[in-house]
């Protein structure tokens, strides 16, 4: 039945080459943990992506209940976590995933560093990787404010204070991020917009670039 | 080799008038029109996003805090309320100040916000360092006058103080002027 549908579409649109190009390629022996167990370090990039997908999915579902408003934000998070079925699980995925994605990204970066894979011709992918790193940090910092509890509020005060300490532009940057003179209603809506729309959009573009470059250049050779 | 080239170019006069090709003309006009339309779409959004920083901050009014007679040499914490407008919310914020009379008899009101990264300091709240302000976050310490002793890069800020009819009024927060 599925084969029938697939063939029907394939006859008309010739989709086989598209997925072949994405998925059908050899995994070299030196990156295959089935050959050398130590090759598991090559999985960290894929694991980072896996958790990123979890973050995006769980985040999309969280926005079904979450409201970015200083009166109601905390209540909405409390409600979705305690009253909604599986709320604890979905929020838990997003909450713990946010830390795990940083850990995985860090391990992936270490692998790339110690295998020397950042060297020519892959320098540009190292740079894109660093940009992904900053976007991830941004997602973590903006997401952290959203529950609007004491920890969120004071952590954001400190984050903005760090931005404020940058010479010359610091105070303007802080006020721009804060959306005004204090951490308040306009900060929360701003952080929400950046967390949920702006940074994920940038992240997806960067990931596309990262993956296209990997396909073009292949995985780096054995040590 | 390059000498020969130079010689060759110098001998051939460039045309007196540069004609713009049709292709170039179209590139400029289409490019210009596109840039115009893109900026028409993007500029409103940028102005929209930066609006909060272009508002003039409300100039601090002075707020009545405490009677002068209550102030001693020892810093004491006093809190006071400030009406504030936060986007579409107006609310009363509770601020606090550590107020004391210094050796010259001036009234000094220090802001409790740590100059390291903005946690809240307290007076005499660390047994290891008596008679100092201490910040619980990363251990910044300050003297009675707010001079930074550890961790923090700057002395504690102070409120502008006005005394009227036996009462202390506090205004804006400014950099500390009582320590060097
Ligand atoms: C890799 C990407 C992401 C990271 C690292 C991340 C990180 C975070 C963090 C640290 C929090 C605070 C959670 C807590 O304290 O429990 C948070 C909350 C939130 N995030 Fe994300 N996030 C990501 C992507 C997304 C996306 C794509 C969306 C929506 C489309 C989203 C929607 C939300 C919402 C609605 C909240 C508030 C609910 C809550 O606090 O539990 N996130 N995020
Ligand atoms: S914020 Fe006070 S010591 Fe770091």
Nearest CA in chain A to B93: A182
Residue A199 C-alpha, separation from nearest chain B C-alpha, in angstroms:
15
Beta bridge partners of B81: B94
Q: What is the pLDDT of residue B14?
A: 65
Closest CA to A164 of A203, A94, A156: A156
Q: What is the pLDDT of residue B1?
A: 45
A-interface mutation test, from B54, B84, B86, most A Cβ less than 10 A away: B86
- Which residue puts its alpha carbon closest to atom 1 of ligand 2? B117
Would the CB atoms of B52 and A70 count as touching at under 8 Å? no
B156 lines ligand 2 (CB under 6 A): no
Calpha distance B61→B171 (Å, rounded):
6
A69-76 contact pairs (CB < 8 A, 24+): A69/A185, A69/A188, A69/A189, A70/A148, A70/A184, A70/A185, A70/A188, A70/B86, A70/B89, A71/B89, A73/A146, A73/A147, A73/A148, A73/A188, A74/A147, A74/A148, A74/A149
Which residues does chain A have within 8 Å of residue B53's beta carbon, measured at their own beta carbons? 172, 175-176
Q: What interface predicted TM-score (ipTM) does this complex get? A: 0.78
- The answer to whether the peptide bond before residue B145 is cis (omega within 30 degrees of 0) is no
Structure tokens at A121: 């011709």
Q: What is the pLDDT of residue A77?
A: 97
Range A2-29 average pLDDT: 91
Nearest CA in chain A to B48: A179
Range A204-211 average pLDDT: 97
Range A24-53 average pLDDT: 93
Best mutation site among A91, A98, A155 for ligand 1 pocket (most ligand atoms within 8 Å of CB) = A98
The ranges assigned to domains in chain A are 43-217
> Which residues of chain B fall short of a pLDDT of 70?
1-16, 57-60
Beta bridge partners of B164: B167
Q: What is the pLDDT of residue A214?
A: 93
- On the question of pLDDT at A25 being above 90, the answer is no
Q: What is the pLDDT of residue B117?
A: 85
Among the partner-chain residues B52, B88, B117, the one whose CB lies closest to the CB of A162 is B117
Beta-carbon contacts of residue B98 (< 8 Å; ≥ 6 apart): B75, B76, B77, B109, B110, B112, B123, B133
Q: What is the pLDDT of residue B86?
A: 86
Give DSSP secondary structure letters for A72-96. THHHHHHHHHHTSTTHHHHHHHHHH
Range A125-152 average pLDDT: 97
Tens of pLDDT, residues A56-87: 999 999 999 999 999 999 999 999 999 999 99
Q: What is the pLDDT of residue B8?
A: 53
Calpha distance B174→B159 (Å, rounded):
6
- Residue A19 C-alpha from the chain's centroid: 24
* CATH architecture of the region B63-174: 3-layer Sandwich (2.102)
Structure tokens at A178: 């804060």
- On the question of pLDDT at A165 being above 60, the answer is yes
* CATH architecture of the region A43-217: Up-down Bundle (1.20)
Beta bridge partners of B167: B67, B164
The ranges assigned to domains in chain B are 15-54, 63-174
* Beta-strand pair B122-123/B167-174: unpaired
Rounded to the nearest angstrom, the distance between the alpha carbon of A94 and the centre of ligand 1 is: 6
Nearest CA in chain A to B57: A181
Beta bridge partners of B129: none
């Amino acid at each position: 039945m599925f084969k029938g549908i697939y063939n029907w579409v394939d006859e008309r649109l010739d989709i086989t080459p598209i997925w072949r190009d994405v998925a059908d390629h050899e995994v070299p022996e030196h990156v295959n943990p089935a050959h050398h167990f130590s090759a598991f370090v090559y999985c960290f990039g894929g694991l980072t992506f896996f958790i990123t997908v979890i973050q995006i999915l769980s985040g999309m579902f969280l926005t079904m209940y979450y409201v970015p408003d200083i009166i109601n934000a905390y209540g909405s998070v409390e409600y979705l976590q305690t009253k909604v079925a599986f709320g604890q699980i979905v929020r838990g995925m997003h909450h713990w995933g946010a830390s795990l994605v940083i850990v995985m990204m860090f391990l992936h970066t270490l692998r790339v560093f110690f295998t020397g894979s950042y060297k020519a011709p892959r320098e540009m992918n190292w740079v894109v990787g660093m940009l992904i790193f900053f976007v991830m940090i941004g997602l973590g910092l903006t997401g952290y404010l959203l529950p609007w509890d004491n920890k969120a509020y004071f952590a954001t005060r400190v984050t903005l204070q760090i931005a404020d300490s940058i010479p010359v532009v610091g105070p303007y940057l802080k006020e721009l991020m804060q959306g005004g003179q204090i951490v308040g209603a306009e900060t929360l809506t701003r952080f929400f917009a950046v967390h949920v729309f702006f940074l994920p959009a940038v992240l997806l573009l960067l990931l596309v670039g990262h993956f296209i470059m990997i396909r073009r250049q292949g995985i780096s050779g054995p040590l | 080799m390059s000498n020969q080239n130079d010689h060759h170019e110098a001998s051939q006069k460039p045309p007196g008038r540069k004609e713009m090709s049709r292709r170039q003309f179209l590139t400029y006009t289409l490019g210009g029109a596109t840039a115009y339309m893109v900026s028409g779409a993007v500029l409103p959004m940028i102005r929209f996003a930066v609006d909060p920083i272009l508002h003039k901050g409300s100039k601090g009014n002075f707020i009545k805090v405490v009677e002068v007679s209550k102030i001693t040499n020892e810093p004491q914490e006093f809190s006071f309320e400030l009406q504030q407008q936060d986007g579409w919310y107006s609310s009363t914020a509770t601020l606090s100040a550590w107020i004391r009379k210094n050796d010259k008899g001036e009234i000094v009101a220090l802001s409790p916000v740590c100059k390291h990264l903005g946690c809240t300091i307290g007076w005499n709240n660390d047994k290891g360092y008596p008679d100092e302000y201490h910040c619980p976050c990363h251990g910044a310490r300050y003297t009675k006058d707010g001079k930074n002793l550890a961790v923090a890069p700057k002395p504690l800020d102070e409120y502008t103080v006005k005394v009227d009819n036996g009462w202390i009024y506090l205004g804006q927060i400014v950099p500390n002027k009582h320590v060097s």
